[in-house]
Structure 1
Amino acid sequence: MKSILFEQTGHPATVLTAKEVALPEPGPNEVRINVIAAPINPSDIMFVQNLYGIRPQLPSGVGFEGMGVIDAVGEGVEMPTGTRVSFTGTGTWSDYAIAHQRSLIPVPDAISDEVAAQLFVNPFTAYAMVQDSGVTEGGWLMITAAGSAFGKMVIQLCMMRGIKTIGTVRRDDLNNELKALGLTEVINTEIEDLAARVRQITDGAGVPCVLDAVGGTTTTEAIKCLSKGGVLIIYGLLSLQDPSINVGLLIFKELTIKGFWLTDWMRRADSKTRQDVAQNVISLLASGKIQLPVEASYSLDQIVDAVDHADRPGRWGKILIKP
């Protein structure tokens, strides 16, 4: 079988290679999955560069989520072979992958392979973060990098809940699409003053919560957009730059800045909460109410082209690996 591996950390296009490896065997409570599709997420790219919360044990596989069909099961697994599943693990960019049975989500026929491959990371993160934001119907939620796959998911969830959204972009080519998804207001941070525009949009009140994936100057400016008692939730650092924090704003506006990592959220959440999120996400995707577009698919042998494409600005959909 073939699998994408890296023996040293660095730029993915430089260090990732497709190699022939032995077919893995599932251990107790594990399954082997014949992988059909797996997405390229920012967390995957950061992992290869040794910038993620989980450090690679070299040589390492890559890819944290995917979908496929159970091919073999280990002792203690009740789910039968032939079951179509979405799953998480390390090394999903491969012909076959090993996953713990707790990470498996059976996929209904109504969900396509392309959507099922993206079922976990962005949908679960978006659903959990909108919940954690505390913003209710009629309130404002701001999202940086609104044109990302995650941003689009949040926009659609908020529209369904009656939450008004402000999204930041660096170019205007996706504005019409974002508006069509339900984005209330869009701000181009390259040509507009973010804090001034937010004050204008919210009649001077600011927003109670910002979901930020950018860092750097975008986060610095986003903090100024918060209302008194507001919360900034950071879930990424696309700029690879730390923000500058205005301590005076934190003190006198009683602001909160906190991080969000889905891995820890899943550990903290009880089984009922996890099941509720899974059922809601699956229902929304199966009904077509939430869209997860795919821009292009690549084989394992095309991994360099795939990661290069995933890094291009202005993408409108996810890049998938299809072994």
Structure 2
Amino acid sequence: MITDAFACLPIGKDLSLEQGACLYVNPITAIALVERVQKIGAKALVQTAAASALGKMVVGIAARKGIKVINIVRKTEQEGVLKAVGAEYILNSETSNFERQLRILSKELNATVCLDAVAGELTSKVLSAMPYGSRAIVYGGLSEKEIPIHAGMMIFQDKKLEGFWLSAWAPQQTPYRIWKLSRQLKSLAKKELKTDISARFPLEKAIEAVDYYSANMTKGKVLIQTLFTEGN
């Protein structure tokens, strides 16, 4: 494979190839999103799909920055996953009083930014429950649904929607910024940015690997192994 040198990051000898393989998209996205929250000036944030690999990374990075996180999940078992990485505030979007709980908690913590990986109706519900002037940064579309936003939410409550795509963000960064980012990744790689790996499949079982991951997304990442191994 041939690629641009500026698209590569050194991982160091103390990091396994497996963790190195997971160190680009999710970790850099998590760092960039939390930095965006800081730039906006928010003291707390809300995140959907919070039990995902990226969601758990946001919990750790935000804690380092002193930013409170309201984590939204849709399954009870996902709450334990988040508590294990130190999450303090967890709400289940499937409960009957979810929107009321979110409205109260987001006002209490002054959570004015939502990091959203789901899209669809959930984005609208969450943004509606958040304080005046809040915004949702949409970086994923797990629901595969459009986001229904009432015009009054933007006109009278000054709420906003914006997007984030790593492939558009990365080319805008200077070489110095990429160097600083590589240092951040190294310092966080063994804890806040560590990726759980739930299964490994050989290349010839790639389709089976995708099916397994689709059914077990919150258990961890699935690696497709080529002929090259750790010792080669």
TM over 0.5: yes
Q: TM-score, normalized by length of structure 2?
A: 0.89
Checking the alignment, whether the CA contact within 8 Å between 1:164 and 1:183 is kept in structure 2 is no
Quick check: which one's helix share is greater? 2
- How many angstroms does 1:118 deviate by? 0.7
SS of 1:176's partner is: helix
Which structure 2 residues correspond to residues 136-151 of structure 1 after superposition, within 5 A? 139-151=43-55
Distance 1:177 1:205, change over 3 A: closer
Please say if 1:320 is aligned against 2:184: no
User: Aligned partners of 1:166 and 1:210: how far apart in 2?
Assistant: 9
Residue in 1 aligned with 2:15? 111
> In 1, Cα distance between the equivalents of 2:192 and 2:156?
41
* 8 Å Cα contact 1:216/1:239 also seen in 2: yes
Say whether residues 1:304 and 2:207 are aligned partners: yes
Q: How does 1:1-323 map to 2 (within 5 A)?
A: 97-134=1-38, 139-203=43-107, 207-285=111-189, 287-313=190-216, 315-323=218-226
Q: Which residue number corresponds to residue 230 of structure 2?
A: none
Q: Which moved more, 1:152-161 or 1:257-266?
A: 152-161
Query: Matched residues, percent identical?
Result: 30
Contact 1:137/1:163, CA 8 A, preserved across alignment: no
Conserved 8 A contact 1:194-1:225: no
CA deviation vs aligned residue, 1:156-208 (integer Å, no higher than 9, x gap): 11122221111111111121220121222111111244331112224557521
SS of structure 1 residue aligned to 2:70: strand
Question: What root-mean-square deviation, in Å, do the aligned CA atoms of Structure 1 and Structure 2 show?
Answer: 2.1
Are the counterparts in 1 of residues 27 and 57 from structure 2 also a CA contact under 8 Å?
A: yes
CA, structure 1 residues 162+192, in 2 after alignment: closer, same or farther (shift >3 Å)? farther
Q: Whole-Å Cα distance in 2 between the matches of residues 143 and 289 of structure 1?
A: 16
Amino acid at match of 1:307: V
Task: Give unpaired runs (5+ residues) of structure 1.
Answer: 1-96
Rounded Cα–Cα distance in structure 1 between residues aligned with 2:68 and 2:108: 16
| Alignment deviations for residues 238-294 of structure 1 (CA, whole Å, 9 cap, x no partner) | 111001102111112212210000111112222222221221012211x53432111
**Using a 3 Å threshold, how does the CA distance of structure 1 residues 203 and 107 change in structure 2: closer, same or farther?**
closer
Taking a change above 3 Å as real, the CA distance of residues 204 and 250 of structure 1, as seen in their structure-2 partners, is farther
Which structure is higher in strand share?
1
Q: Which runs of 5+ in 2 are unaligned?
A: 227-232
**Equivalent residue of 2:219, what SS?**
coil
1:153 and 1:189 mapped to 2: Cα distance? 20
Give the distance between the partners of 1:134 and 1:192, measured in 2 at CA: 32
Count matched residues: 226
Q: Distance in 1 between matches of 2:171 and 2:207?
A: 33
| TM value normalised by structure 1 | 0.65
Please state how far the C-alpha of 1:100 moved relative to its aligned partner.
2.6
Residue 142 of structure 1 contacts residue 211 of structure 1 at CA under 8 Å; is this kept in 2?
A: yes
Decide whether the 8 Å contact of 1:173 with 1:314 is kept in 2: no
Q: Contact conserved, 2:47 with 2:71, CA < 8 A, in 1?
A: yes
Shift of the 141–135 alpha-carbon distance from structure 1 to 2, 3 Å rule, reads: farther
| Aligned AA (1:176) | G
Residue 167 of structure 1 contacts residue 183 of structure 1 at CA under 8 Å; is this kept in 2?
yes
CA contact (8 A) 1:135 1:141 kept: no
